[in-house]
Structure 1
Amino acid sequence: MTLTEKIAQLIDEKGPRYTEISDKIWAFAETRFEEVQSANLLCETLENEGFQVERGVANLETGFIGTFGSGKPVIAILGEYDALAGLSQQAGSSEHNPIIANGNGHGCGHNLLGVGALAGAIAVKDYIQEQGLTGTVKYYGCPAEESGYGKSFLARDGYFKDVDIALSWHPGTANAVWHARANAVINATFTFKGRSSHAAASPHLGRSALDGVELMNVGVNYLREHMVDEARIHYAITNTGGLAPNVVQAEAEVTYLIRAPKPEQVRDLYRRVLNCANGAALMTETSVDARIVGSCHSLVPNRTLETIMHQHLQDLGSSTVTEEDLRFAKEIYDTFSDEEKALVVAQVGKEVAQQLAEKPLLRTVVPLANEPVFLGGSTDVADVSWNVPTAQCTTATYAFGTPFHTWQVVAQGKTAYAHQATLLAGKAIACTAISALENPTLIEEAKAELQQRLDGETYEALIPKDLVPPTVVEAKIL
């Protein structure tokens, strides 16, 4: 029996249990730093499988590490389980149909992500036991990937220092191994404080904090012309200072995501955004308090590990889909806007796009890219990738072209094809981990590649050394 056949057998035997766990986390739909039920369920599953579980790591109430085995090498498998606000949606419905108005939903598939990683970690444990191997597998329960950056806190506090390689995956619309870069990001909040007054009777006595926010945003908008092409700046006004227009707003707040391809670029861009904030405060005679509340680094690819993972993904073959799967996937595809469908054509060409429009579940494995693909977004997996060689895959959990952070993702989160693709990801992770366990040379080559890509740079977290992640109670208030 080949390695891929053995791992497939180990994971498929427990497949129904993984589906049950994934569906429960889908229903919990807990947002960043609030994933109490999801984390407890994953911890209990690991403990029942013989893992030693350490909870509350890096001051993350819903973060944990499950460990099995002993000695070197140490393989980290990364799991996520946070949902998104405002994306509540009925499962299996091809119409926008929230369960709870403005409720939460797994619009990025982390109910699947955490469980696919779990399946991989448990399969590695089972294989170590059966084969009598030396080595350690660690499941990292990483909360708050969505603008909370749980892995950044773990990396900053040294939780990957004893790890040799790290593996993860993400739900997607294709079977592929990422050979990619991604933007570093700083998430900062700017709180302006002024002086209230009657806006009609005594406006000259007031100093508007909302004016400070608006002038800052204008300044940053002018800044956009003078930054590197790949950089991105987004903002949301999170406190407008009240609902009464005849009261000068004494306090207002805006939150920014500042992205750039390199850590030093995002640091400098943050400095320039801060200048805009200070200038706005000066113009309005208000004060501004700037706080970095999260961050992550740029992503460092590792072709050594990615090549092994890609080969295993090819050997495993695509997950099984039924006519019922294809029918529902097509219903979802038909909900996409013309612009979203045009993006599919741009990605795969007109002929393939026409085929996918009828059968939008991609079965093949996408070739591994020769050069790193640039992703405009950000991921806290990046902080791990600066510390240890890291590889990630994606599997076809959704209809091709499904945009992330949408109700369509939530609607597909409990489908049979999403569950099968989740198990496929777990198998690819486990096979890659075992290849590393049985071949120390592979690990040394991956580490050498990491050092070459860093080219003398060392990891320094972008989040402040004294920043503490919010508690569950604090997260509910935020």
Structure 2
Amino acid sequence: MRNADAVWGIVDGKAAAFADLSDRVWDTPETNYEEYRSSAAHAAMLEAEGFRVSQGIADLPTAVMGEAGDDGPVIAILGEFDALPGLSQEAGSAEQRPLVPAGNGHGCGHNLLGAGSMLAAAAVKDYLARHGLKGRIRYYGCPAEEGGSSKGFMVRAGVFDDVDIAICWHPAPFAGVNNPVSLACNEISFRFKGRAAHAASSPHLGRSALDAVELMNVGVNYLREHMPSTARIHYAITDTGGHAPNVVQAQAAVRYLVRARTLPELLTLVERVKRVAEGAALMTGTTVTSAVLSGDANLVGNTPLEQLMHGELERLGPPAFDDADRMTAAQFQETFTSEDITASFERFGLKLRRDLALCDSIFPLGSSDGTSVGSTDVGTVSWVVPTVQMRGATYAIGTPGHSWQLVAQGKLPAAHKGMTHAAKVMASTALRLIHEPALIETARADMRERLAGTPFVNPIPDDVEPPLPADAA
């Protein structure tokens, strides 16, 4: 029996228990650094599987790690379990039906992501033990990917310093190896302070912080014309200074998310945004302070690892969805726009097929277009450890990201099948690396060559603390 076949069999034997873990995390959706129940469920499963468990790693209360094996290479499989606000939804329903008004929901599939990654790690652990092989397999349960950048804090704390290879996945409409493109980003709060005054009788005595926020937004909008086309800037006003229009607002705040294709490009763009803020303060006679809240580096690709993982995907083939899965997916597709479905194919560099509701093939290596991208804190890990990531097909083609439709599909049989499929690929990829340590050195060499002359700068400065809930700080 091939190594892959053996570990795939172990995955199948454990799949039901980990589908249950995924469903329990789906049932208790928690957001950035508040994933106490989800983290506890992951820790309990790690203990039940026989891992050596560490909680609160990197001083993050909801971060958890399980390790098994000894000596040999250290292979890390990364998981997540945070949800998104405002996406509560009834499971399985193709109509929008919130379970809790304005409640949380797993709109990015991280309930599946964490459970699937741990399933892969557990299968590798059992395989190593059965065959007496040297090697350490670790599962990292990473909180707060959605804007909290926990992996960046974990990198800063040295959590990955002794890791040889990092492996991960993400739920998607199609199965394949990521085109390793993401945007580096910083989330920054700008707080303006002015002077209150009566807006009618003595407006000349006031200095409006809200005016400063508005002028900053205008200035950044003009900046958009003069920044790289791949960069993105978004903002949200978080403090308007009050609700009384007859008072000159003495304080106001705006939060910016600045994204760029590379770390050096990001750092340059952030400084330009900061100068716009300073100009707005100068124009209004106010003062401004800024604070970095979080940050992610861009993904660093690794050709040897991507080829290795793609080979495992090709050998395994696509997920085994059945007619019932496809029928359910087609019902969800009726809630999407034509543009949603077209964009799904375009993002992965695939030819449009209107008759296809669920993935039925492995997309070619490097076929995704690399233009419709966001940010991920996996990127920060990829600057310090050779990293590879795959997409696992778990939901209907065309499903918008961060949507109620994605939440609704998170407990379906197709989601469980796609999660198990991804776990098999990650597990057999990890075993290839343990069986053939020369592959690890090849991956390291690729990383060294890519980063030569580009020193790593963590986009989270050393003095920035993670935005933990008040009762956990």
Name the SS for the 1:332 alignment partner: helix
| CA deviation map 1:8-37 (0-9, x unaligned) | 211111111111110111111100111111
User: For 1:278-337, what per-residue CA distance to the aligned partner results, in whole angstroms no more than 9, with x for missing partners?
Assistant: 111111111111001110111111111111111111222222223221121111111112
Q: Which residue of 2 aligns with 1:111?
A: 111
Q: Which amino acid aligns with 2:456?
A: Y
* Higher mean C-alpha displacement, 283-292 vs 164-173: 283-292
Q: Tell me what 1:402 maps to.
A: 399
Residue 139 (structure 2) aligns with? 139
Q: SS at 2:414's partner residue?
A: helix
Mapped to 1, the partners of 2:362 and 2:223 lie a distance apart of 41
Q: CA deviation at 1:342?
A: 3.8
In structure 2, do the counterparts of structure 1 residues 325 and 467 end up closer, same or farther at CA, with 3 Å as the change threshold? same
Paired position in structure 1 for 2:428: 431
SS of the equivalent of 1:354 reads coil
TM-score by length of 2: 0.96
Could you give the per-residue CA deviations for residues 190-219 of structure 1, whole angstroms, max 9, x where no partner exists?
Answer: 011112222223222221111111100000
Give how far 1:348 is off: 7.8
Which residue of structure 1 aligns with residue 33 of structure 2? Answer: 33
Q: Distance in 2 between matches of 1:55 and 1:212?
A: 43
Instruction: Note if 1:392 corresponds to 2:389.
Output: yes
Which deviates the most, 312-321 or 295-304? 312-321
Matched residue SS, 1:235: strand
Residues 408, 288 of structure 1: CA spacing in aligned structure 2 closer, same or farther, 3 A cutoff? same
Report the equivalent of 1:457: 454
- Report how far residue 137 of structure 1 moved: 0.8
TM-score, scaled to structure 1: 0.95
Residues 281 and 336 of structure 1, relative CA distance in 2, 3 Å threshold? same
Q: How many angstroms apart in 1 are the aligned matches of 2:128 and 2:371?
A: 36
Code of the residue aligned with 2:206 in structure 1: it is G
Separation (CA, whole Å) in 2 of partners of 1:444 and 1:348: 30
The answer on 1:11 being equivalent to 2:11 is yes
Instruction: Quote how far apart the aligned CAs of 1:87 are.
Output: 0.7
SS in 1 for 2:181: strand
1:330-366 CA deviation, whole Å, 9 max, x = no partner? 111111123323424656899742222xxx0011111
Judged with a 3 Å threshold, the aligned counterparts in structure 2 of structure 1 residues 185 and 197 are, in CA distance, closer, same or farther, namely same
Q: Which moved more, 1:334-343 or 1:172-181?
A: 334-343
Once the two structures are TM-superposed, the CA of residue 472 in structure 1 deviates from its matched residue by 3.1
Q: Which residue of 2 aligns with 1:73?
A: 73
- How far has the Cα of 1:72 moved from its partner? 2.4
Q: Which whole-Å CA distance do the structure 2 matches of 1:240 and 1:90 have between them?
A: 34
1:85 matches 2:85: yes
Contact 1:76-1:163 within 8 A present in 2 as well: yes
Task: Pick closer, same or farther for the CA change 1:431–1:57 going to 2, 3 Å.
Answer: same
- Separation in 2 of the partners of 1:161 and 1:342? 41
- Give the C-alpha shift of residue 375 in structure 1: 5.0
Identity %: 48
Q: Give CA deviations for 1:358-415 in whole Å, capped at 9, x if unaligned.
A: xx00111111117983553111101111111111111110101211011110010000
Evaluate the alpha carbon distance shift between residue 446 and residue 346 of structure 1 in structure 2; reply closer, same or farther with a 3 A threshold: closer
Give 1:185 shift: 0.5
Query: What is aligned with 1:129?
Result: 129
Residues 413 and 475 (structure 1), Cα distance of their counterparts in 2 relative to 1, 3 Å cut = farther
SS at match of 2:354: helix
Q: Is residue 415 of structure 1 aligned with residue 412 of structure 2?
A: yes
Q: 1:366, 1:247 → 2: CA distance?
A: 58
Q: 1:369 aligns with which of 366, 371, 374?
A: 366
Structure 1 stretch 9-18 or stretch 335-344: which is displaced more?
A: 335-344
8 Å CA contact 1:67–1:139 kept in 2: the answer is yes
Q: Please, which moves more after superposition, 432-441 or 5-14?
A: 5-14
Contact map agreement 1:191 1:289 (CA 8 A) in 2? yes
CA offsets per residue over residues 246-270 of structure 1, 9 Å max, x none?
2222211111111111111111111
Paired residues of 1:211 and 1:284 also in contact (CA < 8 A): yes
456, 470, 477: which one aligns with 2:467: 470
Partner of 2:208: 208
Give the secondary-structure state (helix, strand or coil) at the position aligned to 1:101: coil
Contact 1:61–1:472 under 8 Å retained in 2: no
How far apart, CA to CA, are the structure 2 residues paired with 1:54 and 1:38?
A: 15
Matched with 1:165 is 165
Moved more, 325-334 or 362-371: 362-371
Match of 1:230 in 2: 230
Which amino acid in 1 is paired with 2:336? F
Q: Secondary structure at the match of 2:224?
A: helix
Cα distance in 1 between the residues matched to 2:471 and 2:299: 29
Q: Residue 103 and residue 350 in structure 1: after superposition, are their counterparts in 2 closer, same or farther (change >3 A)?
A: same
CA contact (8 A) 2:347 2:368 kept: no
> Between Structure 1 and Structure 2, how many residues are aligned?
473
Contact 1:164 1:389 in 2 (8 A): yes
The SS at the match of 2:353 is helix
Query: Which residue is equivalent to 1:254?
Result: 254
CA distance in 2, matches of 1:347, 1:430: 26
**In the TM superposition, what whole-angstrom CA distance separates every residue of 1:57-94 from its partner, at most 9, and x where no partner exists?**
11211112211111120001100000001111111011
Report what 1:312 is aligned to.
Answer: 312
Change (3 A) 1:371 1:377: closer
CA offsets per residue over residues 72-122 of structure 1, 9 Å max, x none? Answer: 200011000000011111110111111111111011000000001010110
For the Cα contact (< 8 Å) 1:4–1:315, is it kept in 2? no
Gaps of 5+ in 1: none
| Amino acid of the structure 1 residue aligned with 2:292 | I
What residue identity is the alignment partner of 2:464?
A: L
Question: Matched residues in 1 for 2:242 and 2:27: separation?
Answer: 34
Confirm whether residue 382 of structure 1 aligns to residue 385 of structure 2.
no
2:11 corresponds to which letter in structure 1?
A: I
Q: Distance in 2 between matches of 1:331 and 1:349?
A: 24
